[in-house]
Chains A and B, each alone.
Chain A
């Protein structure tokens, strides 16, 4: 690992000031991605600003029945917070199905949102990669791309977004609260994740020195019955090939309300808006579920090794919609 300098800060303004004072600096929270990428030489900050002492770890109820999760709350604590387990079980499951308990004890919610892709060509620090070094090309396009995305891709990048939590958050319309050099702002999660397009190096709208303070998850009557299904190459401690967050309400055999989002298949955590629109108001039948899945996957752009994900995602969606509309949990 190349040499770095270290700053420990104790309040948010100091943290923002410490980073913005000079280019080439980075916040350091749980470190589970950052220390790894530092060692791999993929990121090269001169100074890391340790924000672990900032008072941003609380998990608080919001008046609308939602929950505000401090950016420094650890994955394991959030997953087991009673408010999250009871009102947002699908989010709790998404957290517990990610990483290992050691990593969940370290990794923060803010860091989880900002984690980088597991694309091997991004991580090796050597291959052509438009995300790591814009303009160098994409080695995954015609390389080993089995784990790569089929939705939201561009001709510059097909890297999959790795977060399970973020899949739940896009389904629940969470809001990212930040504090930066220009003050505080709220970013709806739907505009937080940027599809690669021509600038795969730009993954979110945060400006330099802007810090995530909390994630607000608004109250949602559906969310109490939400669940998360994750399919992967091994049973535990692995990233998703396809995953799904689902919650639905059925009235008089019609799908009255639906939230659906996919992981493992998108360049960003994928809100399945087409499937939601197709099915909402429709009948809760397998035929309708399949039609909704087809609608969602209509523009899927598979490559050589990940073509299986199209049919895989289709089946996962159908299964999840069945469970959700029958009121079954995972």
Chain B
């Protein structure tokens, strides 16, 4: 870390420059805050896998194409490979490990198993993080909607019909089969941003 003085007009400011060597970084993941040493160039994906041993999040393309690294930042699904870890300080990261904090599978995880929604399983963590977010977003009304809003998650085994079945089932179960695509998603709320995580933190 170094300080630099920068002048605009009549005002001089101190600017804090971190890196390029490792710097202390505080990352909040699944409700726990971790202190790690990272270079600024380290992606959130590499920080999770290589520094926090949270290897549920997978590295597929590492260029924002495949969706295998989908996680939530502040409850929104994003790609961990295109996110620099340092930018996540003061934000809440949720990974697939955070979906089942008490060892009880999330309803979406159960549905993926029941519907055989994977073959090799490499894309599955990303698919599930995307699928739970999709139901929270409320854009899963039709099969076409599910296909469209899941298009950022590639499955090279092509388990797409089964993935769609799993999502549909959780959607219909969560909403009592009526208000489709609504925000009511018991499981997701439990492990979603805000509420659940903060509670777990206190445990």
A binds B: yes
- A residues touching B (Cβ–Cβ < 8 Å)? 1-9, 13-14, 16-18, 20-21, 28, 31-32, 35-36, 38-40, 46-48, 50, 52, 76, 99-103, 105-106, 181, 235-237
In this complex, which of A4, A5, A99, A181 has the most chain B Cβ atoms within 10 angstroms of its Cβ?
A5
Q: How many A-B contacts if CB must be within 8 Å?
A: 121
Whether A102 and B15, one on each chain, are in contact in the complex, defined by CB atoms closer than 8 angstroms, is no
Whether B82 and A17, one on each chain, are in contact in the complex, defined by CB atoms closer than 8 angstroms, is no
New A-B contacts (19) at CB < 8 Å, excluding given A35-B43, A100-B151, A101-B152: A2-B41, A3-B40, A5-B18, A5-B19, A6-B18, A6-B40, A8-B89, A9-B15, A14-B13, A20-B8, A35-B84, A39-B62, A50-B84, A100-B67, A102-B67, A102-B78, A103-B152, A105-B76, A181-B8
* A–B pairs, 30, beta carbons within 8 Å: A1-B41, A2-B41, A3-B21, A4-B20, A4-B41, A6-B19, A6-B40, A8-B89, A9-B15, A13-B8, A13-B13, A14-B15, A17-B13, A20-B8, A32-B64, A35-B43, A36-B82, A46-B20, A47-B17, A50-B87, A100-B151, A100-B152, A100-B153, A101-B130, A101-B152, A103-B152, A105-B77, A106-B79, A106-B82, A235-B147
Whether B8 and A102, one on each chain, are in contact in the complex, defined by CB atoms closer than 8 angstroms, is no
Whether A7 and B18, one on each chain, are in contact in the complex, defined by CB atoms closer than 8 angstroms, is yes
Name the B residues within 8 Å of A4 (CB-CB): 19-20, 40-41
Whether A17 and B8, one on each chain, are in contact in the complex, defined by CB atoms closer than 8 angstroms, is yes
Whether B40 and A39, one on each chain, are in contact in the complex, defined by CB atoms closer than 8 angstroms, is no
- Kindly report which residue of chain B lies nearest to residue A29, judged by CB atoms: B87
Whether A38 and B64, one on each chain, are in contact in the complex, defined by CB atoms closer than 8 angstroms, is no
Whether B87 and A52, one on each chain, are in contact in the complex, defined by CB atoms closer than 8 angstroms, is yes
Name the B residues within 8 Å of A17 (CB-CB): 6-8, 13, 15
Name the A residues within 8 Å of B87 (CB-CB): 8, 28, 31, 50, 52
Name the B residues within 8 Å of A3 (CB-CB): 19-21, 39-41
Whether A21 and B152, one on each chain, are in contact in the complex, defined by CB atoms closer than 8 angstroms, is no
* B59–chain A nearest beta-carbon distance, Å: 12
- Kindly report which residue of chain A lies nearest to residue B11, judged by CB atoms: A13
Whether A101 and B149, one on each chain, are in contact in the complex, defined by CB atoms closer than 8 angstroms, is yes
- Binary contact readout B122-135 vs A (1 if CB under 8 angstroms, 0 otherwise): 00000000100110
- Binary contact readout B60-94 vs A (1 if CB under 8 angstroms, 0 otherwise): 00111001001000001111011110110100000
Whether A48 and B67, one on each chain, are in contact in the complex, defined by CB atoms closer than 8 angstroms, is no
Whether B83 and A5, one on each chain, are in contact in the complex, defined by CB atoms closer than 8 angstroms, is no
- Kindly report which residue of chain A lies nearest to residue B76, judged by CB atoms: A105
Whether A7 and B17, one on each chain, are in contact in the complex, defined by CB atoms closer than 8 angstroms, is yes
Whether A99 and B152, one on each chain, are in contact in the complex, defined by CB atoms closer than 8 angstroms, is yes
* B148 in contact (CB, < 8 A): yes
Knowing A103-B64, A181-B8 are in contact, say whether A5-B151 is a contact too (CB < 8 A): no
Name the A residues within 8 Å of B149 (CB-CB): 101
* B77–chain A nearest beta-carbon distance, Å: 5
Whether A101 and B41, one on each chain, are in contact in the complex, defined by CB atoms closer than 8 angstroms, is no
Knowing A3-B41, A38-B41, A106-B78 are in contact, say whether A101-B17 is a contact too (CB < 8 A): no
B151 touches which of A7, A21, A76, A236 (Cβ 8 Å): A236
Name the A residues within 8 Å of B84 (CB-CB): 6, 28, 31, 35, 48, 50
Near A by CB (< 8 A), chain B positions 107-138 give 130, 133-134, 137
- Kindly report which residue of chain A lies nearest to residue B137, judged by CB atoms: A101
CA gap between A1 and B19 in the complex, in Å: 14
CA gap between A136 and B174 in the complex, in Å: 58
* A179–chain B nearest beta-carbon distance, Å: 11
